[in-house]
Copies of this chain bind each other. A is one copy, B any other.
Amino acid sequence: MTARARPEVREACLVEAFKIIEETGVENLSLRDVARRVGVSHQAPYKHFPSRDHILAEIVARCFDEFAIFLDARQPSDRPHDDLRAMGLLYLDYAQSHPLKYRLMFNTPLPDPRQHPRMMRNAHHAFSILRNRLQGMPLRQTEPPSAKTADLDAMFIWSTLHGLSSILQSDMRTALKMSDLDQRRTVQRCFARLSLALTGDESPAIVKRPILTSKRKPRSSS
C-alpha cells in the first residue's frame, strides 16, 4: 500500500541505525527495528544492503569520517608538542562523549573486514592524521629516525590513548571504583608519562583545562 520514496530510504536507514547505536549500542541494532522506524517493511533495507554486516560497515566508515574530522579540527600551530597534546585530549574527548560509536569503531569486529574497503580506507585515514601530526615533532630517538620509526611511535601513542579510552569507559572503571577526580588525575598522569616517553621532558605549560567533564559536547576552541 504505502508506496514510498526513492533511495532516500537507504540514507534514512543509515541515519536511524546511527541513532539506535548511539542510543542503545550496536548489540541492540536490528534491521527490523530500523525498517520500523523508517516506516518501511522489514525487508526494504535488504534492497540497499546485502546483509546486516554491510550496513554496519557503512556506519563504521562514517564514524571514522566523523572521528577524523573531529581530530583534525585544530589548526597546527608552531608548537607541535602542544598540537599533539591537544589532539590527544580531543581523542579522549571523543571517546568519552561518543562511547558507543567509539566502541563501534574499535571494539566491534566484523566477520570479514576485507569485504568493506571503504571502512578500512577511512580507518587508515584517521590513523594517518595522528601520524602526520607526529612528523614535525622533535622526539627523543632510540634509533635513527625514519618514517618507519615515526609509525611505531604513532602506534605507541595511539595504543595509550585507545587503552585509556577503553578502560575509562569499560566496566573496569566501576570495578576499580574510580571517581571522576581519579579519572582526571589518570589522564593527567598518562599525558605526563607520554611526554616523558617521547621527548624526555615533562610537558611544558599546558594548562589544566576542564576538558573531559564528560557531559557536554566538545568545544575545540580555547
Contacts and interface: CB of A to CB of B under 8 A. Distances in A.
A166 to B, nearest CB: 6
Interface stretch (A7-15, A39-47, A191-199): A191-199
Given A152-B185, A189-B153, A200-B200, A163 B171 contact: no
A198 B189 contact: no
22 contacts: A52-B222, A106-B166, A106-B167, A107-B107, A109-B219, A110-B171, A113-B174, A119-B175, A120-B174, A123-B172, A142-B189, A142-B193, A149-B189, A155-B164, A155-B190, A156-B186, A159-B160, A159-B164, A160-B160, A160-B163, A193-B198, A196-B198
Interface of A: 25, 27, 52-53, 103, 106-107, 109-114, 119-120, 123-124, 127, 140, 142, 148-149, 152-153, 155-156, 158-164, 166-167, 170-172, 174-176, 185-186, 189-190, 192-194, 196-198, 200, 202, 219-222
